[in-house]
Amino acid sequence: MDLLTAFDTVKSDQFFGLSELQNVRPMTEDPALVHAFRFDDMAIFKDGDGKDRWMLICPDMSNNQHWRTQSFDLDGFSGHMVFNTKDDALESVVRCGFYVRDDQALDRLHDLPSFLLGNYCCDLISKVNDREITYKQYLQLVSEYKVLHSLTDSLRLVV
């Protein structure tokens, strides 16, 4: 698939639950967009609607022949997908509405209390799923973390 024309038309019902077709401006019409989608090893794209959500594209660590998209927001990392090629990963990111280049996002977010707490919770959830700790222990550890770091339930910060 040609990277410069891959995003001409997206069947919206397939990706957004809509019934009509959504036309996505061809990348070839805007040289700035074409430049934004060129990268070697890593790129971060922000949600095109201006929401505080990002997707990172990078080589997959478990198989360096594949590419990974990693989703994150103010509350930490939230999921990933693996693709056979960089173009496939990039197409998925664009189809999900992430097309504003923002390679410094992690530098701005990584020390936010909400980001740190979210990543801590993800690690604990993994331990719950692996039956290393119980859900009750998870809740206790999160509570202790919040007390230790003087956190409240309202952690949303403006970036």
| Type of residue numbered 23 | N
Domain 31-103 has CATH 2.20.140: yes
Rounded (10°) angle between helices 135-148 and 113-129: 160
- Kindly state the DSSP code that residue 83 receives in the 8-state scheme: E
Rounded to two decimals, what is the model's pTM? 0.71
- Round to whole Å and give the CA distance between 75 and 114: 5
3-state secondary structure of 117: helix
Q: How far is CA 19 from CA 97, 98, 101, 128, in A?
A: 17, 21, 29, 39
Q: Which of 61, 53, 57 is nearest to 88 (CA)?
A: 57
| Predicted confidence pLDDT, tens digits, the chain (159 residues) | 444 333 443 433 444 444 333 444 454 355 555 556 678 889 999 998 989 999 999 999 998 899 999 999 999 999 999 999 998 999 999 999 998 999 999 999 999 999 999 999 999 999 999 999 999 999 999 999 999 988 875 554 433
In the block, residue with structure tokens 């202790």: 144
